[in-house]
Amino acid sequence: MLRFPAFLLLVFLLCAGFFSSSCRKDPLDEDSDAQLVFSRDTVRFDTVFTTVGSTYRRFKAYNFSSKSVMVSSIRLAGGANSQFRLNVDGVPGTDFTDIKIRGGDSLWIFAEVTVDPTSQNSPMLITDSVIFVTNGNIQRVLLEAVGQNVYLHYPTFVTTSGVAYSYFNCNEVWTNDKPHLIFGLAIIPSNCTLTMQPGTRVHLHNGGVLAADSNATLIVNGAHGSEVTIQGDRLEQEYSEEPGQWGYIWLSANSVNNSINWAIIRNGTIGILSDSVGSSANPTVNIANTKIRNMSLAGIFGRDTYIRGNNLLVTNCAQYAAALAYGGKYSFTHCTFANYWNIDNRTTPAVIINNWYEDADGNPVRRNLDSANFRNCIIHGDLDNEFEPDSNTTGGYNFRYYVTNTLLKTTINASDPVHFNVPTNGINQLVAFTDFANHDFTLAPGSWARNKGDAILALPYLNDLNNLSRFASGAPDAGAYEGQ
């Protein structure tokens, strides 16, 4: 007769007990009054553009009973025709059956929405509901989204390197009747003009670029209180201040007579990328009365170009508020370059100017910096040095710049009168922005910049970025805003 050793018998009894308990049937709560509890009774989406899916929204269904419940049905009331989509317990669909929720447990439900195009230009409310049936008891969670029709600019060509691009029609004029949504690289053709009227809304999808070809022209013609807005296409609250959502506005080499006035440009990689001026004696771009912020590289990036700017606010960029590189011509009056990037560590100055770069073999290539003038400006941020001239004049190349009547935060020696107007220049003085953390760069009382602007330089720019007089309280202030 076989005999089990005592310890083997104990192991056998323990295992038998385990398997016996694990095979017991999980008791179900079959009471017709059994109800789920939801983390929200209405799931709301921010504005969603037609044909562009939203980010997901999620909510939980809780079973507070001590027993499991069997949810016999979870479905969209709109069924397969709904503009919403669900994902329940990791499975996508519109209709789910026999979902068990154990006692004291919960279930995640994820919802998305895509808006079908209509002929309606104004925003529209889209609704549906998620229906839960538990022991014959019906419960609903409402779904709400605001949909917006758009003019869709989608790539129609692909280069041999895989870049998707399209061309606008020649001499298009955009108005504020409904937004424009750009995918890929969208190009203003040569010898054509794209004009944006006051209140035009432009959205670029991830990586999107708005470009002006050779001899093409971009005219952004906004107005105070009816600015042209250029930003990404994610309108959910969590994306409202998220940089890097799209590419850049590219004013390519030999594009001509570009003008940006009363615009808000935000949440991209580079706000304005301006290339060589070519043979033209006129600026590649005039930028006025414009706010540029939240760029994952630079607010303004000039490459041997000619930029003229006034009443500009350029803030919160991962590297540079303005990178004026490889030479060129630059003139900025009553501009505020204020870099308080707080997403990660920034080591580059708010403004850098240089006249050279390295080629693929590491050899320096020099060009003339004919002028880089900062007049009645503010150049500031949270680093010790926010202004860096980077010159290479070997071979007699020009490196000319001049800073006057400007509040400048820097560690460089600013005593050279060739480059600095020292008697009236505020080196490392108190800037005192009203509330820069909330994008308010007006001047608080006590700011050194008050009344430090040169009145003659200010005469062409009588009003500030709030469209208020620069001469209401005496001498004009430095920067884009007149303290009130």
Using the 3D structure, point to which of 94, 117, 147 is the last residue of a domain. Answer: 147
Using the 3D structure, point to which of 112, 147, 182 is the last residue of a domain. Answer: 147
How many domains are contained in the chain? 2
The per-residue pLDDT for 105 is 95
Q: pLDDT per residue over 376-409, tens digit each?
A: 999 999 999 999 999 999 999 999 999 999 999 9
Q: In a 3-state reduction of DSSP, which class is residue 13?
A: helix
411 shares a domain with 291: yes
Domain membership of residue 381 (yes or no) is: yes
Using the 3D structure, point to which of 147, 176, 209 is the last residue of a domain. Answer: 147
Lowest-confidence range among 31-35, 77-81, 138-142, 284-288? 31-35
**Residue closest to 243 by CA, chosen among 203, 206, 296:** 296
Domain membership of residue 422 (yes or no) is: yes
- Beta-bridge partners for 204: 182, 232
Mean pLDDT, range 330-357, rounded to an integer: 96
163 shares a domain with 124: no
Q: pLDDT per residue over 247-263, tens digit each?
A: 999 999 989 999 999 99
Average pLDDT value for the chain: 91
Whether the pLDDT of residue 453 is over 90: the answer is yes
* 25: CB partners within 8 A, 6+ apart: none
Could you tell me the pLDDT band of residue 124, with boundaries at 50, 70 and 90?
confident
Domain membership of residue 401 (yes or no) is: yes
Work out whether strand 137-148 and strand 151-153 pair parallel, antiparallel, or are unpaired: unpaired
Q: What's the rounded Cα separation, in Å, for the pair 388 and 349?
A: 7
Under 8 Å between Cβ of 52 and 205: yes
The per-residue pLDDT for 20 is 47
- DSSP string of 20-31? HHHTS---B---
309 shares a domain with 232: yes
Q: What is the pTM of this model?
A: 0.84
Q: Residue 213 class from Cβ within 10 Å (0-12 exposed, 13-18 middle, 19+ buried)?
A: buried
Domain span including residue 230: 150-458
Q: Residue 416 class from Cβ within 10 Å (0-12 exposed, 13-18 middle, 19+ buried)?
A: exposed
Q: What's the rounded Cα separation, in Å, for the pair 204 and 244?
A: 11
Q: pLDDT per residue over 308-338, tens digit each?
A: 999 999 999 999 999 999 999 999 999 999 9
**Residue closest to 115 by CA, chosen among 40, 203, 45:** 45
137 shares a domain with 158: no
383 shares a domain with 264: yes
Q: pLDDT per residue over 171-227, tens digit each?
A: 999 999 999 999 999 999 999 999 999 999 999 999 999 999 999 999 999 999 999
Of the chain, the percentage scoring pLDDT greater than 90 comes to: 78
Domain membership of residue 32 (yes or no) is: no
Domain membership of residue 203 (yes or no) is: yes
176 shares a domain with 79: no
Q: In a 3-state reduction of DSSP, which class is residue 268?
A: coil
Mean pLDDT, range 289-301, rounded to an integer: 98
Whether the pLDDT of residue 130 is over 90: the answer is yes
List the CATH number of the domain containing 78: 2.60.40.2310
442 shares a domain with 316: yes
Whether the pLDDT of residue 67 is over 90: the answer is yes
Q: What's the rounded Cα separation, in Å, for the pair 111 and 58?
A: 6
> Which CA distances in Å does 466 have to 4, 50, 454, 469?
92, 34, 19, 9
206 shares a domain with 104: no
Under 8 Å between Cβ of 212 and 193: no
Higher pLDDT, 122 or 337: 337
- Beta-bridge partners for 389: 353
Place of tokens 């269904």: 61
Domain membership of residue 394 (yes or no) is: yes
68 shares a domain with 206: no
288 shares a domain with 253: yes
The per-residue pLDDT for 371 is 96
Domain membership of residue 392 (yes or no) is: yes
CB-CB neighbours of 421 under 10 Å? 15
The per-residue pLDDT for 278 is 66
- Beta-bridge partners for 292: 265, 314
Domain membership of residue 379 (yes or no) is: yes
Q: What's the rounded Cα separation, in Å, for the pair 412 and 418?
A: 14
104 shares a domain with 176: no
Higher pLDDT, 280 or 441: 441
Q: What's the rounded Cα separation, in Å, for the pair 164 and 186?
A: 9
163 shares a domain with 285: yes
Could you tell me the pLDDT band of residue 355, with boundaries at 50, 70 and 90?
very high
The per-residue pLDDT for 426 is 85
> Strands, DSSP E only, in 117-208?
124-134, 137-148, 151-153, 157-158, 164-167, 173-174, 180-182, 185-188, 193-196, 201-204
